[in-house]
Amino acid sequence: MTTTGRHQDRTALVTGGSRGIGRAVAGRLAREGALVAVHYGHDHTAAERTVKEIEADGGRAFAIHAELGVPGDAATLWDAFDRALAARDAAPGVDIVVNNAGITLPRPIEHVTEEDYDRVFAINTKAPYFILQQALGRIRDGGRIITVSSGATRIAYPAIATYTMTKAALDSLTLSLALQLGPRGITVNSVAPGFTETEINPTLQNPQIRQALAAASVFNRLGAPADIADVVSFVASDEARWVTGQWIDATGGVHLGL
């Protein structure tokens, strides 16, 4: 089955789209025809590199900046998005929203400060909540909302308990929005990666940790950002029109035997 043109004439927003899973998702959606807004919080160079890679591959993309986890972040993001579309003479509105941006907090609960807690929730939970709130008036009927969750919300992993809580909250929001937006033909789903090779996980620099995490998958390897992007692209497509309110395991079968 070919997926060429799967997202033709659609507009997508990918938060945290300059690196890791977000970069792979932005590239995949663009290759399949979408005009992609590549959001970034701090790394302008990485965002521009992602846009240039997409354009070199024949796709269409533009970068937008908004620091997340600060007051007014969602409004700043959508204002940049709206202005960028207008500058391109593109139709206003959005068809696909991928909430991907986030930070990790690799500390057990006894070492988490209130400042740590507030920051990870501000970026990982509060920001996407209000991004989606302000997306409701922009997203077209038949649109797609996809949150990048985590396999850790279904597996006890004390080392990142606080991070996991931020993702579990969004899984719950997925259910509520799926019911609310169903009458408009909008699907809302969570895609949950497992141990994936991205910059967000500095422990992967340790060969022993890499080996242990790879062994958790039935495929005995770490996930690649492209593995997750492929799943997101499907969920964002018309082929997934009958799938909503779901938590989609994209962990590579982590801990299936336990």
Per the annotation, the verdict on 167 as an active-site residue is yes
Token code pair at residue 210: 């890499």
Instruction: Single out the catalytic residue among 18, 52, 126, 150.
Output: 150
Contact criterion met (CB below 8 Å) for 144 and 95: yes
Would strands 139-148 and 187-193 be described as parallel, antiparallel, or unpaired?
parallel
Contact criterion met (CB below 8 Å) for 215 and 196: no
Token code pair at residue 85: 């579309």
Torsion of CA 115, 119, 121, 126, to 10 degrees: 130
Token code pair at residue 112: 């988490």
Instruction: Single out the catalytic residue among 18, 149, 190, 233.
Output: 149
Low-confidence ranges of the chain (pLDDT < 50): 1-2
What pLDDT is attached to residue 206? 85
Q: Is the CATH number of domain 11-250 3.40.50.620?
A: no
Contact criterion met (CB below 8 Å) for 178 and 236: no
Token code pair at residue 17: 């789209």
Closest CA to 127 of 183, 179, 68, 63: 68
Instruction: Single out the catalytic residue among 18, 40, 163, 233.
Output: 163
What pLDDT is attached to residue 2? 46
What pLDDT is attached to residue 255? 86
Across-strand partners of 190?
147, 247
Closest CA to 125 of 157, 103, 158: 103
Instruction: Single out the catalytic residue among 167, 190, 217, 233.
Output: 167
What pLDDT is attached to residue 50? 98
Mind listing the pLDDT tens digit for each residue in 25-75?
Answer: 999 999 999 999 999 999 999 999 999 999 999 999 999 999 999 999 999
Per the annotation, the verdict on 149 as an active-site residue is yes
